[in-house]
Structure 1
Amino acid sequence: MSSGSYYERIDEQRYKPTPHTSGAWNPAEQHFSPLGGLIAHAIDLDRRGRGSELAVSRLSFDILGKLALDECDIRVEVIRPGRTIELVEAVAVIAGRPAVRARAWLLALGDTAAVEGGQAPPLTPPAELEPWSASELWPGGYIASLDLRPCAPPQPGRTAAWISSTLDLVQGESVGPVAAFVTHVDAANGIAVRRPPTEWMFPNVDLTVHLDRTPQIGWTGLDTTVTFGPDGRGITSSVLHDVHGQVGHAQQILTVRPL
């Protein structure tokens, strides 16, 4: 893998995935985590191109099928324009069909420091932790590209960990803090496995991220709990952190079935 990025730009709307995007259930497909970051990047480019100063505050992704290691065409549309609240939709087309449909709520910012509160305690700083190789559990270039540092030994269905990568999201492009952060959030479902992925499948069909402040570029902190229900469904829930503390929450709905 000679590329130093997850994607390379083809033109204004199209991107080519590199082998670093592959995995985790199938190394011949894209891991959703970098693709989620790419879609967030496309939404941010559209926002900046329109001169909007609103902040991405919720991102919801519906994963419509397998994510082929093929070029991505991302189209962004404003669904609900506004001066203080805006709804944007992005569709990622892969191999000629819509593969991911995403919506983002953008909100106006203001000074609410006087009433700030309710955040979870901060995680142990990543500089104090040792790396752990998730490639022991998961194949593919994406997992292999990560610097993963658990705050304690991972337990079935429960892990708090930091994730970062030295790779660019898009080769040669500056990426905003939300896109850089989201590039690692979908990995939550793979760091707190309840059952071995060699025995059970539990892929997520969506990802929803709520942010109560803009994260700092660098480390993505995931304080994650995975539950399996009795009838083939599960939920991965994460409190999201950057190095300064909590920034929001993420949820993923899982389809659970034996191999």
Structure 2
Amino acid sequence: MADSFFTPTDDQHTWQPTRATVGPWAPTMQHGGPPSALVVREAERRGAAAAEGPVDALRVSLDFFGPVTTDPVRVSGEVVRAGRSVTLVDVHLEQDGRTALRGSVWLVRRDTEGATPVVPGPESGLPGPEDLAPFEVWHFPYIEHFDWRVILGSTTQPGPAQVWARPLVPLVPDEEPTGLQRAVLIGDSGSGVSAELDWSDWSFVNVSLDVQLLRPMAPDWLLLDARTRLAGTGTGLTLTTLHDRAGVVGHVGQNLVVGRRG
């Protein structure tokens, strides 16, 4: 086990990926979740400094320009808009002088007075993670740095899935990940847990990741309620509803490029 997904370097904007970032497609290719979370972290730091009062990062749109390898990554950001209600930050993650991942994050003013109404959704009625046994079917580094508990679906058969998950190590050393960081760190796995194709024969890599949160997430566990649909055009779409212990907290969308491996 690595101690975190990334470790710092002598340059405060450059991070070294650990083995915890390695995904299922190649030993030199990161899973999409960790670098996406690093983009969110950079946006939150810049947005909080520019915002007029307390804010929560509730929406991110990410585009993958190509594979994110296990080489060092450099993150840079720019505040595009800073206002009383919302702040927008654009972030680029670069490797070897090229942009590998780009993200835009909206930070929304927090109502510290509790003056706005609460309209709750329906109770989920789903079992909690403590009622479920962990699974250990997949074996690649990223997956091994999480605790996974399955409600619905199979790790060896295609179809929709409902899976609780929580990271076992922080994104960066000595820092608790925020709600949106955890949402992308885990939510990028929606296409994996609800896969409709055999991983050994097919690749289904997402080129985008869009996450919207209703509110700040409760700490600890996050539930993915995921479904993948495929078209006969080499494309697919995964839609995931996110739950925390308080109920539905957000949604994730992933556009997939599908092709045979080898």
TM-score normalised by L of structure 1: 0.91
Match of 1:49, SS state, is helix
1:122–1:208 distance in 2 versus 1, CA, 3 Å: farther
**Residue-by-residue CA offset, 1:82-122 (whole Å, 9 max, x unaligned):** 11122110100112210000001122233476341345725
2:230 aligns with 228
Question: Shift in Å at residue 56 of structure 1?
Answer: 1.1
2:136 aligns with 133
Question: Where do residues 24-103 of structure 1 align in structure 2 (5 Å cutoff)?
Answer: 24-50=24-50, 52-103=53-104
**Residue-by-residue CA offset, 1:134-178 (whole Å, 9 max, x unaligned):** 41xxx5310122211111342523000011122111012243232
Question: Shift in Å at residue 223 of structure 1?
Answer: 0.2
Alpha-carbon distance between aligned partners in 2 of 1:122 and 1:189, rounded to the nearest angstrom: 23
User: Is the Cα contact below 8 Å between 1:208 and 1:252 reproduced in 2?
Assistant: yes
Alpha-carbon distance between aligned partners in 1 of 2:94 and 2:224, rounded to the nearest angstrom: 28
User: Is the Cα contact below 8 Å between 2:212 and 2:251 reproduced in 1?
Assistant: yes
1:134–1:64 distance in 2 versus 1, CA, 3 Å: farther
Correspondence 1:117 to 2:120: yes
Match of 2:152, SS state, is coil
Question: Where do residues 135-150 of structure 1 align in structure 2 (5 Å cutoff)?
Answer: 135=138, 139-150=139-150
Match of 2:224, SS state, is strand
The letter for the 2-side match of 1:141 is: P
**Residue-by-residue CA offset, 1:57-95 (whole Å, 9 max, x unaligned):** 210110110111011111111112211122110100112
1:120–1:12 distance in 2 versus 1, CA, 3 Å: farther
User: Is the Cα contact below 8 Å between 2:121 and 2:248 reproduced in 1?
Assistant: no
Question: Shift in Å at residue 47 of structure 1?
Answer: 2.6
User: Is the Cα contact below 8 Å between 1:181 and 1:217 reproduced in 2?
Assistant: no
Match of 1:142, SS state, is helix
Question: Shift in Å at residue 219 of structure 1?
Answer: 1.1
Question: Where do residues 188-227 of structure 1 align in structure 2 (5 Å cutoff)?
Answer: 188-227=190-229
Alpha-carbon distance between aligned partners in 2 of 1:203 and 1:120, rounded to the nearest angstrom: 33
User: Is the Cα contact below 8 Å between 2:29 and 2:69 reproduced in 1?
Assistant: yes
2:167 aligns with 165
The letter for the 2-side match of 1:238 is: T
- The root-mean-square deviation of aligned C-alpha atoms, in Å, is 1.8
User: Is the Cα contact below 8 Å between 2:22 and 2:29 reproduced in 1?
Assistant: yes
User: Is the Cα contact below 8 Å between 1:56 and 1:106 reproduced in 2?
Assistant: yes
2:256 aligns with 254
Question: Shift in Å at residue 183 of structure 1?
Answer: 1.6
Paired residues, number: 255
1:214–1:229 distance in 2 versus 1, CA, 3 Å: same
1:7 aligns with 6
1:122–1:102 distance in 2 versus 1, CA, 3 Å: farther
Question: Shift in Å at residue 244 of structure 1?
Answer: 1.6
TM-score normalised by L of structure 2: 0.90
Correspondence 1:105 to 2:102: no
1:113–1:127 distance in 2 versus 1, CA, 3 Å: farther
The letter for the 1-side match of 2:127 is: T
Alpha-carbon distance between aligned partners in 2 of 1:148 and 1:27, rounded to the nearest angstrom: 22
User: Is the Cα contact below 8 Å between 1:134 and 1:144 reproduced in 2?
Assistant: no
Match of 1:56, SS state, is strand
Question: Shift in Å at residue 233 of structure 1?
Answer: 1.2
Post-superposition, which runs of at least 4 consecutive aligned residues in structure 1 deviate over 4 A? none
Alpha-carbon distance between aligned partners in 1 of 2:115 and 2:133, rounded to the nearest angstrom: 36
Match of 1:234, SS state, is strand
Question: Shift in Å at residue 34 of structure 1?
Answer: 1.2
Alpha-carbon distance between aligned partners in 1 of 2:14 and 2:222, rounded to the nearest angstrom: 26
Alpha-carbon distance between aligned partners in 1 of 2:130 and 2:60, rounded to the nearest angstrom: 29
